[in-house]
Amino acid sequence: MSYINKTNSGYGTLCLHYMVSMVRAAKQNWFILVLACVTSVLVLRHLAAISDLQLSRMLLNGDEPETVVGTDIDGEKTQEGGGMVEDNKPNETVFDMDNREPAFKLVTRTGDKPPIDSDRAYGKILDELHLQETCQQDPSTVVIDVGAGLGTFGLYAAACGCTVYMFEAQPDLVKLIRSSIRQNSFTSPPVNVTQRAVMDLASDTTIDFAPPEGAGGDTESVSVETIRLDDISWPSQSIYVLKIDAAGTELNVLRSAKNLFAQRRIRHLFFEYTPWLGNQESQKNLLSYVRRDLKARFMYNLYRTEEIFYGPLVPMHFPTLHDRVSQSRTEADIYVLLDGRATKSSINSQPFPMNNR
Ligand SMILES: *[C@@H]1O[C@H](CO)[C@@H](O)[C@H](O)[C@H]1NC(C)=O
Ligand SMILES: *[C@@H]1O[C@H](CO)[C@@H](O)[C@H](O)[C@H]1NC(C)=O
């Protein structure tokens, strides 16, 4: 009965439980049955997070929901007669990520919410990249997700049919990503998750990896091996997207792919710009580094809250953007088109505001 202690949904769940019992008791009496169904639907509409699928499944089977927003993996496996499949299964909840096509399943630790905010930002950028069309035309299209977290971005790319490499240093998150891969019946290859920290150190160096304070998730230090993006033999000459969410170590990640950038093998880059995390000194130069050393063709700042792209950014904007983001501590997303031949970008943007917004 793991749902009882979900404080924010406790009442809804009890109410739901009651409704389901009513439906069961009312089998003989169609009037009460219809009334109960209508009332249940009204109540369930208030619990916005319940999907129609789950709702109809519950009404059909009279099953009690294990959780209000997700499906307990344990519950599912037990019904299939699978029993205990893996040690930490009772802690895992599956979300249907169906706010854009193609939908996929995301496994989280029970009680945690999926990272909707960053997901929205990725969605906005992905609209611009036509990822699904691109990967359906050519399934060898490579997408790299560094700092995969729960895998929100990499799993979406996998659902699009791309060849996906996810890198995540924290073992707990890697376990959840592996569960997600199983839930979606993805196979490896083309979907690969590696428990490593991407760094510009010699590959296979063991480091103590601790996400900086404020980066979200576990901050416990783990011992992990490093890997350079330049040391991987990629299955394709060109890499369509490199996404980085490295909580302040973006520069290290980018430097580990020096040759890939020099050979112009990476087409689109986007990263979460959090210059108040990690080595703050080196991050002052991050945007200039991307512009000058990586030969960015066009750079944009996605302002998450309003889903507006500002840009194209020019060096004059960098100090203002750096200071603004550092002071307000709001995540900024930077999208970079690296294609050297591009003479214009299709991004629908607004001029970067130099005054305070
Ligand atoms: C479930 O999570 C809790 C808290 O994170 C942890 O203490 C416990 O060991 C986990 N249980 C399993 C079976 O992994
Ligand atoms: C997954 O990628 C890693 C490199 O990060 C590679 O060493 C490994 O062989 C790949 N696994 C599969 C199944 O392709």
- Looking at the fold, whether 44 and 142 belong to one and the same domain comes out as no
Tell me, yes or no, whether 155 and 62 share the same domain.
Answer: no
3-state SS, one letter per residue, for the chain: CHHHHCHHHHHHHHHHHHHHHHHHHCCCCHHHHHHHHHHHHHHHHHCCCCCHHHHHHHHHHCCCCCCCCCEEHHHHHHHCCCCCCCCCHHHEEEEEECCCCCCEEEEEECCCCCCHHHHHHHHHHHHHHCHHHHHHHCCCCEEEEECCCCCHHHHHHHHCCCEEEEECCCHHHHHHHHHHHHHCCCCCCCEEEECCEECCCCCCCEEEECCCCCCCCCCCCEEEEEECHHHCCCCCCCEEEEEECCCCCHHHHHHCCHHHHHCCCEEEEEEEECCCCCCHHHHCCHHHHHHHCCCCCEEEEEECCCCEEECCCCHHHHHHHHHHHHHHCCCEEEEEECCCCCCCCCCCEECCCCCCC
pLDDT of residue 332: 87
pLDDT in tens, 52-65: 334 333 333 333 33
Token output for 153: 């971005």
- Residue ID of nearest Cα to ligand 1 atom 9: 88
More confident residue, 259 or 124: 259
**Can you give the pLDDT at residue 63?**
35
Beta-bridge partners for 105: 96
- Give the pLDDT of residue 86: 42
Report the nearest-CA residue for atom 11 of ligand 1.
88
Query: What is the residue range of 58's domain?
Result: 2-69
59 and 135 housed in the same domain: no
Q: Tell the residue nearest (CA) to atom 6 of ligand 1.
A: 91
Residue 68 has pLDDT above 50, yes or no: no
CATH code of the domain in which 297 resides? 3.40.50.150
CA of 176 to the centre of ligand 1 (A): 13
Tokens standing for 12? 């809804």
The residue out of 39, 69, 99 marking a domain boundary is 69
At residue 217 the predicted structure's pLDDT band, cuts being 50, 70 and 90, is low
For atom 7 of ligand 1, which residue has the closest CA? Answer: 91
pLDDT, one tens digit per residue, over 120-163 is: 777 778 878 899 999 999 999 999 999 999 999 999 999 999 99
Task: Write down the mean pLDDT value for the chain.
Answer: 78
Q: What is the pLDDT of residue 218?
A: 63
CB of residue 232 inside a 6 A radius of ligand 2: yes
pLDDT above 90 (res 251): yes
Give pTM, 2 decimals.
Answer: 0.75
> Greater confidence, 15 or 316?
316
Please state the atom number of ligand 2 nearest to the C-alpha of residue 194.
5
- What is the count of structural domains for the chain? 2
pLDDT for the residue 219: 67
Mean pLDDT computed over 302-309: 85
- Domain identity same for 193 and 252: yes
Among all chains, which residue has been given the structure tokens 């020019």?
314
pLDDT, mean of residues 106-124:
81
